Amino acid sequence: MVGGARGGGFFAVALAVAGRQVYKYFANPAFLAPALFPLFFFVAFAGGLTRVGDVPGFDYAAGYVAFQYVWALLQAVAMGGAFTGFSIAGDFENGFARRLMLAASNRQGIILGYTIASLVRATLTGALVTVIALLTGMPMSGGFDLFGLIGLAILVNVAATLFGAGVAMLLRTQQAGPVIRTPIFLVLFLAPVFVPLNLLSGWLEAIARLNPFTTILDAARGLLAGAPTNVLPAYAIGAALVAVFALWAVYALRRAEKTGA
């Protein structure tokens, strides 16, 4: 009988898109390559710069490995978002996005689907970074707020994914890669990466103080050390970034719809 389906709603579309992306991550090991980036940074910096922890003024209670771990974790989840953006750009370039746009009754579900898949990827890379950190001697003292830290990591991942999705849907080509990656890299590195903010100086200190990611990074480090600072502002900044980039992604989706995706 010919009748036509009612069409998948927002969540049906999101789950279908997420299912495909996650399947691809696990079916093809190459899709997991981005996880190696943060691991490399973590092993290189935490291993080679441990004596920074002895510098006067370095007052992070959990030690230098933990100090680096937090940054590596947030970098891993942020880059997971960026790589999801690359996948979206690829789907637009090879025409697969058109299939999604054609079948999805509610196209905003496509954005949610990619975001869910990105979270799954971030969970995997985040877990890998954590395991490596523990194996390389990161102390787990009592009092740390794991859920608070995970919450911030989720916000960073979602914000980066939505930013990448927006750029990917605007440019609709894999050439979008550098446009997605570069701003995320800059935001991640123009922050107190290797030493606390109070040990930075000059232009880097000025920029790091203005960088909203600094507040998130400091709060995440505080949560791990069991000495929370600026947690509410960090969550507020994370939520604001998610809201802004969600609007950005929806705007880009509308643009893609207008130009024939």
Partner 1 sequence: MAEKRAGIEVENLVREFRKGPRAVDGIDISVEPGEIYGFLGPNGAGKSTTVLVLTTLLPPTSGTARVAGYDVVKDGPKVRAAIGAALQEAALDPFLTGREHLNLQAALHGLGRKQRKRRGEELLERVGLEEAADRRVRGYSGGMKRRLDLALALVHEPRILFLDEPTTGLDPQSRSALWSEVSRLARDEGVTVFLTTQYLEEADVLADRVGIIDRGKIVAEGTPEKLKAEIGRPSVEATPAEGSGREAVARVLSRFGEEIAAQPGAVAVRLMGGAGDLADVVRALDSEDVRVTNLRLDEPSLDDVFLEKTGRSLEGEGAQEVKEAQV
Inter-residue contact 228 to 62 (CB < 8 Å): no
Alpha helices (H) along the chain? 10-27, 36-48, 64-93, 96-103, 108-135, 146-171, 176-189, 202-210, 212-225, 231-258
CB of 58 to partner 1, least distance (A): 46
Residue placing its CB nearer to partner 1 in the complex, 3 or 48: 3
Q: What's at 252, amino acid-wise?
A: A
Q: Does 258 bind partner 1 (CB under 8 A)?
A: yes
Give the shortest CB-117-to-partner 1 separation in angstroms: 13
Interface residue with partner 1, options 33, 99, 182, 229 (CB under 8 A)? 99
Comparing CA positions, the residue from 244, 176, 238, 12 lying closest to residue 108 is 12
Q: Which is nearer to partner 1, 99 or 209 (CB)?
A: 99
For partner 1, the closer of residues 109 and 228 by Cβ is 109
What is the closest distance, in whole angstroms, from the C-beta atom of residue 162 to partner 1 in the complex? 21
Comparison of 104 and 231: residue with beta carbon closer to partner 1:
104
Written as six digits, the tokens of 175 are 């050439």
DSSP three-state, residue 5: coil
**Distance of CA 212 to CAs 71, 146, 182, 235, Å?**
14, 21, 17, 11
Using CB under 8 A as the binding rule, whether residue 137 contacts partner 1 is answered as no
Question: Among 50, 106, 130, 230, which residue sits at the site for partner 1 (rule: CB under 8 A)?
Answer: 106
Residue 204 in the binding site for partner 1 (CB under 8 A): no
- Separation between Cα atoms, residue 156 and residue 38, nearest integer Å: 15
A 10 A CB-CB count for 106 gives 15
The CA angle 91-94-100, to the nearest 5 degrees, is: 45
Binding of residue 32 to partner 1 (CB under 8 A): no
101 binds partner 1 (CB under 8 A): yes
* Collapsed DSSP state (helix, strand, coil) of residue 220: helix
13 scored as a contact of partner 1 (CB under 8 A): yes
Q: Does 104 help bind partner 1 (rule: CB under 8 A)?
A: yes
Rule CB under 8 A: is residue 102 a binding residue for partner 1? yes
Kindly state whether residue 29 participates in binding partner 1, applying the rule CB under 8 A. Answer: no
Question: Among 32, 50, 98, 235, which residue sits at the site for partner 1 (rule: CB under 8 A)?
Answer: 98
Distance CA 18, CA 39 (A): 25
Please report, as ranges, the residues that interact with partner 1 according to CB under 8 A.
Answer: 1-9, 12-13, 15-17, 19-20, 23-24, 27-28, 94-96, 98-106, 257-261
